[in-house]
Chains A and B, each alone.
Chain A
Amino acid sequence: MSAAPKQDQYDVVVIGAGPAGLAATAMTAEAGLSTLLLDENAGPGGQVWRAINSTPVKTEALLGVDYWSGAEIARAARDSGAEIIHRATVWSLDRDLEIGVSVGGGSAFVRAKRVIIATGAQERPFPIPGWTLPGVMTAGAAQTMLKSSGLVPDCPTVLAGQGPLLWLLAAQILRLGGRIDRVLDTTPRANYIAALPHAFGFLTSPYFSKGLAMMREVRAKVRVTSGVTELAAEGDGTLSAISYATASGKRERLPAELLLLHQGVVPNVNLAMAAGIEHRWNERQLCWTPVLDAFGNSSVAGIAIAGDGAGIGGAQAAVVRGRRAAGDAIKALRPQAKIVDLSAELARAERGRAFLDVLFQPARQFRIPQGDTIVCRCEEITAKDVLDSVAIGATGPNQLKAYRRTGMGPCQGRLCGLTVTELMAEARGKSPQEIGYYRLRAPVKPIMLSELASLPKSEESIKAVVRG
């Protein structure tokens, strides 16, 4: 059951129960710090180890060894003495380290001496023509259904995009008997050359052999078309076909009822940005990453970020980053405690990342759409709409809100933010860093008005009543 936090003050509050959050929680709680772990999902695991305690898919090989390694860390967190609340939505965090959290239909505020944000990654927007048609979904959403309910596609299905998760999902769908008609690989051919200088780190990394085996496994069962440079979803009201072109000039139209899109993941920045944490444009990962010190401490005193939210590093790096942030929190609150140096371990876990970052940099045309392609799904704003606004004076994402209301809908910029930044940067001949990003604001997840209304009254208003 999900109950409200037992205390209103903790030494450490960890937000997110993925690899980083679970690892951090176990460590701070074991060190004797009062620790609260808040997580949105029904159980531990985050995205990568989603439903680790509850998945109906029990055969180990189907989801892979990496998935099951999560169970041990989840167990350690559970047995650590930390207070763990699932189905808890953190909707506010500010520079006073006050956290607004919604649990079981009610909201509460808790204060922390240290906060570790471990809210992970989200999928990068993939704004191609037709991407808003019913029948088009993200690979991540498909994987969520697969892990939590064992659901796999059985209709004509195409996977398109690039990156390790695309291949992982393809392999998992196939192992569970799902249907994939084609994989359209959008990795730009030039990336293979650009990534070569980083290849040594990759070849000696854990990714290499696993990745290769997975791609071989998929290719053995499904036709893979690589070098895809154009991609469009078509259909009248719902997806009926996918048309694509390749670098070598081949064009084809594939009938399909389901298109799963994926071109990598980017840090989920909403909570951190709303807390006022400084972020910078990351030229290699083509996304915003927080400005952090070696332990993950952000520009806001007391708040650290671990896991993919600190910059995409994968699950193994997330675990180490979680422990590093936890170690620093322990050191700050228990100065006599001995903290193990994890820098060598982190370097090992991050090895190969540079190669993947460069190899799987999405192509310009899949990040910066044109013409009638939708950019902002909430307000149905196209690339042309954005450029028209730039032409009459919109200089950045925040000004664009005044013209087009982009970023002001329920997704709070998650599905359009990166696209808008890059599109406006290109149109104005500036760098994404110069163009900037939406100023994000709490609540980072919508909360019910009635829930807010039921918050305990402020001390001031209670005093006013007493005096009156």
Chain B
Amino acid sequence: MIKHADAIIVGGGIHGCSTALHLCLAGLKPVLIEKDYAGRHASGVNAGGVRQLMRDVAEIPLSIRSMGIWETIVDLVDDDCGFESHGQVLVAENDAELDACRARVADLNAHGFTHEELIDGAELRRLVPAVAESCPGGVVSRRDGAAQPARTTTAFRRKAEQLGATIREGIAATNIRREHGVWHVDVGAETFASRVLVNAAGAWAGRLATQLGEPVPVETIAPMLMITSPVAHFIDPVVILRGRKLSFKQFPNGTVLIGGGHLAAPDQDRNETVLDWRKLAESARTVSELFEVMRSATITRAWAGIEARMRDDIPVFGPSALHEGLFHQFGFSAHGFQLGPGAGAVMAELIVHGGTQTRIGGLSIERFRKTTPSATA
């Protein structure tokens, strides 16, 4: 018995769930297939940064679109997702880094983007009083903030299901094939069919793309995070560093999340990661140097989520270059959480209307076709 759906979405991360929800809002009945459960990997265990700051120009329009949704997220998913907007601050630790910040902001302004603002030492200390005196300034994106990732992904999943999406968790999508112009996907004993297939399979999306004849340069990564016991409130914005791998955020309950992109060793087939404590120790050193108040905090937990990183560090987003009805939404390269709400909205527009007002051209899978030897020959 084949069940027909308006779209089949493979992957129950923030992206798959957001696309499912936005398709429902457009009146469609999608099916979402998740081999584990929604938010099991990167979408549920990332740092929760809702950041426009320091993004590649190619994804800024999508990021700005998403920011608008974040600010009214409760209207969309009936849950505030723990979203708080205290800004995100990039800290320059020396004058050379501050010069690079200045150039960056000028470049964005030239592109017409004004969300990043250069700040001097005084403004930096006003925003982040605890930061080391030696830091000369940085960049702030004032509308940015942070949310709770698992809660957010779960809220999108729940709302999509309420609006009529069919959710299948705990069973992998297999035998994905196109017959007479219609995509067929087996899910255990069930088979779903649809003219639309969305590849939002995160770390598993590269395999699926390859299987469908569109290999892309993607690797599996597992950025590590750790969280401390509560310490007295000392910081509001999310802080990231210009020169070293560190991101830093204090929650309302006082706990402090420390991340920044040091990687664990992922074991994708086991759903496991092996943490690299020497790298986490580097993060701990950086934190101690910049924030004296943190030295006596204790680390209560560390983890890593599995996700996909593209060679050029920006996602693959948009229609397939090969198959009609196939759409890609993956490879967010450790910064996809903020993009989730907007990417789902734009993906729904692509599927329903065949186009979107949001500029996403630079994210197309086409960019990898052009550089392959066979394409240039």
A interface residues, Cβ below 8 angstroms from B: 92, 94-96, 100, 109, 276, 392-396, 398-399, 401-403, 408-410, 412, 441-443, 446-450, 452-453, 455-458, 461
Question: Is the CB–CB distance between B275 and A92 below 8 Å?
Answer: yes
Question: Is the CB–CB distance between A448 and B298 below 8 Å?
Answer: yes
Contacts of B154 in A (CB 8 A): 393-394, 399, 402-403
Contacting residue for A442 out of B150, B158, B275, CB 8 A:
B275
Question: Is the CB–CB distance between B158 and A392 below 8 Å?
Answer: yes
Question: Is the CB–CB distance between B298 and A395 below 8 Å?
Answer: no
Question: Is the CB–CB distance between B158 and A402 below 8 Å?
Answer: no
B interface residues, Cβ below 8 angstroms from A: 37, 39-40, 44, 148, 150-151, 153-154, 157-158, 161, 169, 228-229, 270, 272, 274-282, 284-285, 287-288, 294-303
Question: Is the CB–CB distance between B302 and A441 below 8 Å?
Answer: yes
Contacts of A399 in B (CB 8 A): 37, 39, 150, 154
Q: How far is the CA of A27 from the CA of B103 in the complex (A)?
A: 66
Contacts of B270 in A (CB 8 A): 276
Contacting residue for A457 out of B228, B272, B278, CB 8 A:
B278
Contacting residue for A94 out of B151, B274, B300, CB 8 A:
B274
Least CB separation from A434: chain B residue: B170
Contacting residue for A449 out of B277, B279, B288, CB 8 A:
B288
Given A393-B154, A457-B278, are A443 and B300 also a contact pair (CB < 8 Å)? yes
Q: How far is the CA of A176 from the CA of B281 in the complex (A)?
A: 48
A441-B275, A446-B229 given; name 18 further pairs at CB < 8 Å: A92-B275, A392-B158, A395-B37, A396-B37, A402-B39, A402-B150, A410-B229, A441-B301, A441-B302, A441-B303, A443-B301, A443-B302, A447-B298, A448-B296, A449-B284, A449-B295, A453-B285, A455-B281
Question: Is the CB–CB distance between A457 and B298 below 8 Å?
Answer: no
Question: Is the CB–CB distance between A109 and B285 below 8 Å?
Answer: no
Interface centre among B148, B280, B287, B298 (most CB of A within 10 A): B298
Least CB separation from A109: chain B residue: B277
CB distance from B272 to the nearest CB of A (A): 6
Question: Is the CB–CB distance between A449 and B287 below 8 Å?
Answer: yes
Question: Is the CB–CB distance between A453 and B279 below 8 Å?
Answer: no
Interface centre among B229, B270, B297, B301 (most CB of A within 10 A): B301
CB distance from A261 to the nearest CB of B (A): 26
Interface centre among A443, A453, A456, A461 (most CB of B within 10 A): A453
CB distance from B181 to the nearest CB of A (A): 35
Q: How far is the CA of A396 from the CA of B38 in the complex (A)?
A: 12
Q: How far is the CA of A224 from the CA of B331 in the complex (A)?
A: 65
Contacts of B276 in A (CB 8 A): 458
Contacts of B303 in A (CB 8 A): 441
CB distance from B4 to the nearest CB of A (A): 26
Least CB separation from A408: chain B residue: B301
Question: Is the CB–CB distance between B37 and A96 below 8 Å?
Answer: no
Contacting residue for A412 out of B150, B275, B298, B301, CB 8 A:
B301
Q: How far is the CA of A97 from the CA of B133 in the complex (A)?
A: 41
CB distance from A79 to the nearest CB of B (A): 34
- The 18 sampled A-B contact pairs (Cβ below 8 Å) are A92-B275, A94-B274, A276-B272, A393-B158, A394-B154, A396-B37, A403-B154, A441-B302, A442-B302, A446-B298, A448-B298, A449-B228, A449-B288, A449-B299, A452-B280, A452-B284, A453-B288, A457-B281
Contacts of A95 in B (CB 8 A): 272, 274
Contacts of A396 in B (CB 8 A): 37
Given A410-B300, A412-B300, are A450 and B295 also a contact pair (CB < 8 Å)? yes
CB distance from B11 to the nearest CB of A (A): 17
Question: Is the CB–CB distance between B300 and A446 below 8 Å?
Answer: yes
Question: Is the CB–CB distance between B287 and A458 below 8 Å?
Answer: no
